[in-house]
Chain A
Amino acid sequence: MIYRAAIHRTFEAGGQTFAYSAASGAVVALDETSQTVLKRCATPDGVDHPRWLDWAPEEARHTQREAFEELVGMGLVRSEFEPALTADPLPESAFPLQTLVLNVTNKCNLSCSYCYEFGQDRLSDSTRARAPRMSDETARASLDMLFERSGRSRDLTVTFFGGETLLNLDTIRASVDYSERRGRETGKRVSFALTTNATLLDEATIAFLVEHRFGVNISIDGAQSDHDRHRTFKSGKGSYAVVLPRIRALLAAMRGRGGRPVGARVTLTRGMADLAETYRHLHDEVGFESVGFAPVTSSSEREFALPAEEMDRLLRGFTALAEEYVAAAIEDRQHGFSNLHDLLGELHRGVSKAHPCGAALGLVGVSTEGQISPCHRFVESDAHVMGDVKTGIDEKLRAEFLRAGHVAQKIPCHSCFARPHCAGGCYHEAHVRYGDAGSPNLHACDWIRAWTALGLECYARIWLANPGYLDRFEERPKLAVRPSLETPA
């Protein structure tokens, strides 16, 4: 039978050769024999097993066969008749919900130029007036749905999102009260998270966030000059001077009173500053625990969109920060570059995703009016509504969304080594770019593959120099503020 190498990536670190299997997500170190066999299987003809062994030198036959079998076991080599696994049928019963993202308001007190909620890339139909704030009643109905649909999950997350989330603090307070009560009744633990632009963080709000152990993500784009380029008030005035003291107060309170680490989220646009400098500013000077970067989502024509040269610069910036991260990890210190931290966590667990993210699986978004959508970014897109909190999730629409988003449907991804962790990328981004949430994000592949390759190399280097560090990925990642949602606010 003919056997061939399955999609994988081999890479070097510290003088050793490793392989990452796109079929299983396994990372292994290869010895010389297995390298030879894998290379042979990677030729177009593959090997005709077991006949190929007849031509192997007698003394090598046994070890080559053994290496071959091990490679098959890891998913690095497969027979040509291996039943091709296409989209697994989705389980008949509904998926348990774990995370609910409540868009408590669609209003914002800033008007950032790149915002997908309000800018040129927004999905909502602007001709229809929408409730600007979620009512307490809608929030309670949403939470009831979360509890009822959470199955056996014991840990639930409620994330508040906007607009500027804190413009509707009343509903947030009511929701926290209600979820904590229902949590006690049902024996489930509920944790809270929110994303904010920090303009409204006053003392009382901060005390509330600390008391209920909120995971807070703050949208801030770096030092004043970078931040104020896009993150402006309606008057056009930058927001940095207003937010900085408030952020400092929040960080101090969280740290002093045992709150959760606070993450900064930086949106990268054309003309962005040097990443390492931005990191240094936010982590060392301002005091954020972790800093995550995300390129702006937009159609490519927008003036703030990242052109190709900037993507290269971005990769160089990520590489420089990754070096710092690895150096820290080798000394057993935590570095706050959260993009890499999250990637290493996925590589360590060996995730192999059928869907790029939890949207419509364990997570759904709810609009101010109570409509359910696959995630927070799709709320207010009429084309993506999947039910209403009063009547429940429309399972048929949900299943359709998931079927179309399954990586098996994304033909170019089949031959891509980055597939286990990318799986085609963000549905929302795909929708903005290609008008189809089920499309793979082909404009980003080069970048994703380079980034995955960088992650693998960092992973192997840490494993070689300080394997104990990787234990911190055994449980849920501690550093990242989960779920790390970016803010349109």
Chain B
Amino acid sequence: MSTYSVSDATAAAAAAPRGSVRLANLSGSYGVGLAASLAWLAFGVSSLYWPDLGDWSRTDSLGIGAIVIAAFVLFGTFGADYLGGAGEALRKRAPWLVALGAFLTLWEVATAKFAWLPLPFFPPPQSILEVYTDDLPKLLDSVFASVKLQLGGYIIGATVGFLTGVSIGWSQKIGYWVHPVLRFIGPLPATAWLPIAFFSFPSSWSASTFLIALATGFPVTVLTWSGVASVSSAYYDVARTLGAKPSFLVLKVAIPAALPHVFVGLFMGLGSSFAVLVVAEMIGVKAGLGWYLQWAQGWAAYSNMYAALIVMSLLCSGAITLLFRTRDRLLVWQKGVVKW
């Protein structure tokens, strides 16, 4: 008797959540997907329905593009079960798509259609789209120049910083000489060197590389150093009793143990080197996204400015994502690392 009631109860308990999950699916995730589709539809329709207040050539493409996206979201939402990973990804991002669609609609209406926001300073979405289609070669050249400069400086700075950090963390003699220099020069913002760098280096490109390397090198050095210095002596004891030579202690004990710190340094160095990159491009190098921004501002081409800013933010975010991916690869042994 009692066994029956127990099994009945478990069966009922098992059945109940299933039904409610179904319901939640319909009202929750389908609902959000539907809302996302509607938001993008509103964006498309709003840009097609009202006449533009200014003279923009991409309004129709923008409107049609938005409606196409709305259609994709709609199909994706109801076909999610057949789309596998893509469907799941869409479902996860649906709330964001709602917010984005609503924001773009508002932006479109507030700028191109009723000019609630003052016009030259707040360009509508279609004028930014216009920059991407009509000014693409120049923008791509700038992206290429920026990436080249940033990558060169960052790699040099990170390498030098890492080696310096390991050296002073390991050898007291090297620490004696390098530490005061580091304390004196390190905290100085790299941009303070701009004037000196630009007249003492043979080219503005090498000067900028130096500055980016400097901005990267300082945090990488300090964190590598503190990472190496904080390695528990118990690890060295273990390795030494097992016959490890000093080179093994550095390469196989100190460096892997310090790696989590090193990545914090690399992350901080990335942030400060972006700042230097933009300033250096604005002031010295006549190429790159920083220069493009400066140029756009000089011509009061505000849509170009926004377009470049969006590209810049995607690049910076992409660089950080790449760094975090590398870290996750190398530090799988750590638990609970922050996801970017």
Q: Do A and B come from one complex?
A: no
Interface residues of B (CB under 8 A from A): none
Q: Which residues of A contact B (CB under 8 A)?
A: none
